[in-house]
Amino acid sequence: MRIVLLGPPGAGKGSVAALIKDRYALLHISTGDILREEIRKESPLAKEIKSYIERGALVPDEVITKMVDQKLTKDLGVTEGFMLDGYPRNDSQAKELDAILKKIDSSLDFVLNMEASLPLILSRISGRRICKKCGAVYHMTNKPPKAAGVCDACSGPLYQRSDDNEETIKNRMSVYNSSTAPILEYYRKQGKLVTFDGDKETNVLFEEFVKFLNENKRFNKNQNASRN
Ligand code: ADP
């Protein structure tokens, strides 16, 4: 199975991705997580990356594409497929992705697109808290941890992402509308786009994904499937 998760910030890509990853043996590539890890490790690119993320702007294509290329080229093969989450985010990344996949003799099966309404997006993002240790995602009201500020799974401390503030969210939404939303058409034309209602609760949405994926087993390992 080779899929891309698309949708505006707060549509639930990360939450659904965690469940999909548990259900299927997939290489999960979240560009946001990779970038935050670069910052945490204080890598040579950390400062530059941080300045983009904190403004809600896109990190330059060449930086991000190189990271995705490395992951797909090196890490693929040990799993049944991959799930890209947060990439591609603009037209040039979509084309770069096609080039990378061609290079490794692969292709996309489906682009699973989540649409969500703005008030819900804003409340999800502003209430989001993440475990510093294991990355588990909580929400202050929808999915609070048992003990305040502490991860249920690993007891790690919870934090709020520095770009989950009102000002940056506005920029992220506007970048989504101007740069990311147009690529939906790119995938629609290829017959790969499938849209889901991201307003639904994570588990309900996940079950819809599973149903769709099970009914559309065109992700056979040896088959370069596409929707027509
Ligand atoms: P969200 O989908 O909620 O915006 P992500 O974790 O996917 O969260 O992304 C956080 C930030 O990381 C983005 O606002 C952007 O600055 C950067 N980023 C993530 N993926 C990409 C990408 N494919 N291209 C450029 N920048 C990216």
* pLDDT one-digit tens code per residue, 37-73: 999 999 999 999 999 999 999 999 999 999 999 999 8
Count the Cβ atoms, other than its own, within 10 Å of residue 92.
14
Q: Where do the DSSP E strands lie in the chain? A: 2-6, 27-30, 82-85, 110-115, 128-131, 137-139, 158-159, 193-197
| 19-41: average pLDDT | 92
Q: What is the pTM of this model?
A: 0.90
Question: How far, in Å, CA of 31 to CA of 46, rounded?
Answer: 14
Which atom of ligand 1 approaches the CA of 168 most closely? 14
Collapsed DSSP state (helix, strand, coil) of residue 120: helix
Q: CB under 8 Å, gap of 24 or more: what pairs does 32-37 form?
A: 32/85, 32/86, 33/86, 33/135, 34/67, 34/71, 35/59, 35/64, 35/67, 36/161
Q: How close is the Cα of 64 to the center of ligand 1, in Å?
A: 10
Question: Measuring from atom 19 of ligand 1, which residue has the nearest CA?
Answer: 32
Count the Cβ atoms, other than its own, within 10 Å of residue 51.
11
Residues with CB under 6 A from ligand 1: 9-10, 13, 31-32, 35, 52-53, 56-59, 64, 86-87, 89, 93, 163, 172
Which atom of ligand 1 approaches the CA of 68 most closely? 23
Evaluate if residue 19 carries a pLDDT over 80: yes
- Taking all residues of the chain, what is their mean pLDDT, rounded to a whole number? 91
Question: How far, in Å, CA of 56 to CA of 163, rounded?
Answer: 7
- Catalytic residue flag (residue 23): no
Cα 201 to chain centroid, rounded? 17
Q: With bands split at pLDDT 50, 70 and 90, how would you rate the model's confidence at 80?
A: low
Please return the burial class of 8, using the count of CB atoms within 10 Å of its CB with bins 0-12, 13-18 and 19+.
Answer: buried
Q: How close is the Cα of 223 to the center of ligand 1, in Å?
A: 30
Question: How far, in Å, CA of 3 to CA of 79, rounded?
Answer: 13
Cα 134 to chain centroid, rounded? 17
